[in-house]
Structure 1
Amino acid sequence: MMSDRDSSEGFQFALPEMQSAGWLRCRLIEESDVPRLFEAVTASQAHLRPWMPWAATDYTQEMAEELVAAQTRRGGELVTEAIYIPCNDEHPFLGCFGLHARVGKGALEIGYWVDVRYTRRGVATLAAALLTEAAFSVPGVDRVEIHHDEANHASAGVPQRLGYAIIGSCQREPEAPGEVGVERQWRMRGQDWPSSAGAQLLAKARD
């Protein structure tokens, strides 16, 4: 099937406020995160390299600076991408999560990676739940999607646990060494979110 990534129709949105639930917060990336971002990517490079094209080569301090600068120089303007940092009182940087307007008008896609030193602790699942909730707070957004390569089983676990529905797959050129070139696509509809496993997870974390 044709991926919604091929849609030429743009969608801009205002940045949601910081989201939190229980032990985890998701906040917008800021200039002071540059050294933390560089350290996290460096520590996680072998973990990220199979799935992230930008991690296939040596990651530099300049690359971290460019990413953060692109996110922070836009101020309060409407954007097509917002990068959030999952964190808590003990750890100010646990990975990177993005809201991306690249799957058609009225939809946002969540992309993510977690610092390898903090994987298997529920960071990805809870952070993705927070950003799903944040996405539905944006006027006009009625669906949220998560896409991943079919071979990336760890990424697949996140939408499964949150109650996203699989909507199909499409062939695409592999971009990273571990990819097989089949993109799996998951979707959460706004009308389904309140009763979803993800919304229940947030409610439990906030009790």
Structure 2
Amino acid sequence: MNIHLRPFAMQDAAAFAQAVNESLESLLPWMVWAHADYSEQNAREWFSFTEMQRNKGEADELGIYDDNGHLLGGAGLRYARDKSCLPAIGYWVRSSQQRKGIARQAVAYLAEQAFRCPEINTIEILAAETNLASRAVATASGAELIDTRYGLIILDSGPVNTAIYHLRRRHQAPQ
């Protein structure tokens, strides 16, 4: 399946809310922003926030769409705030479209965008240790598990062990 990533538009709010509500079973354990009865207003507020982040150069949150423009999920790149931090990629795919390689393709796209910046050599992917689906995406994307630490991710249930993956720039041999 071909995917396309682009910034969310206000006309995507109904589709976004529907995707979230369809996917609550797979989102609620891992995404603190997800909740029952997620509304179009919630989506519009998120879109406004992501536009503000993009304008400030802090993050680039994008919708994932198929060739027909149907919303498949979301993925984003958060830029490092300073030299001590790494840029990070996050992703989610609506329940009806999971296990089709969509998140892996989104990670590849975002990594390609990030590595266009010469100063970025490593991108971080964080996943709750027990979020096996998200961890499988990181591994399938070529990221390496470098450590597990407690408390980097805080869910509604509290801090959890967090698997830390690094996706590194592939250096090409000089020609």
Category of TM-score, reference length = shorter chain: 0.7 to 0.9
Contact 1:143 1:188 in 2 (8 A): yes
**What is the TM-score with the length of structure 1 in the denominator?**
0.73
Q: What percent identity do the matched residue pairs reach?
A: 27
Deviates more, 1:62-71 or 1:147-156: 62-71
| Structure 1 counterpart of 2:73, from 95, 108, 112 | 95
CA distance in 2, matches of 1:37, 1:56: 13
- Counterpart residue type for residue 46 of structure 1: E
Q: How far has the Cα of 1:28 moved from its partner?
A: 1.7
Partner of 1:156: 135
Partner of 1:62: 41
Contact 1:28 1:84 in 2 (8 A): yes
CA distance in 2, matches of 1:39, 1:193: 41
Contact 1:28 1:85 in 2 (8 A): yes
Contact 2:13 2:41 in 1 (8 A): no
- Counterpart residue type for residue 60 of structure 2: A
Q: Taking CA–CA contacts closer than 8 Å with sequence separation of 6 or more, which of the two structures ends up with the larger relative contact order?
A: 1
Partner of 2:114: 135
Partner of 1:198: none
C-alpha RMSD of the superposition: 2.5
Would you tell me which structure has more strand in proportion to its own residues? 2
| Structure 2 counterpart of 1:168, from 101, 125, 147 | 147
CA distance in 2, matches of 1:193, 1:85: 29
Q: How far has the Cα of 1:101 moved from its partner?
A: 2.4
Aligned residues: 171
Change (3 A) 1:193 1:148: farther
Partner of 1:122: 101
CA distance in 2, matches of 1:74, 1:180: 25
- Counterpart residue type for residue 10 of structure 2: E
Deviates more, 1:180-189 or 1:114-123: 180-189
CA distance in 1, matches of 2:121, 2:145: 16
- Counterpart residue type for residue 68 of structure 2: E
Contact 2:61 2:76 in 1 (8 A): yes
| Structure 2 counterpart of 1:82, from 42, 49, 60 | 60
Structure 2 unaligned spans of 5+: none
Q: How far has the Cα of 1:47 moved from its partner?
A: 1.6
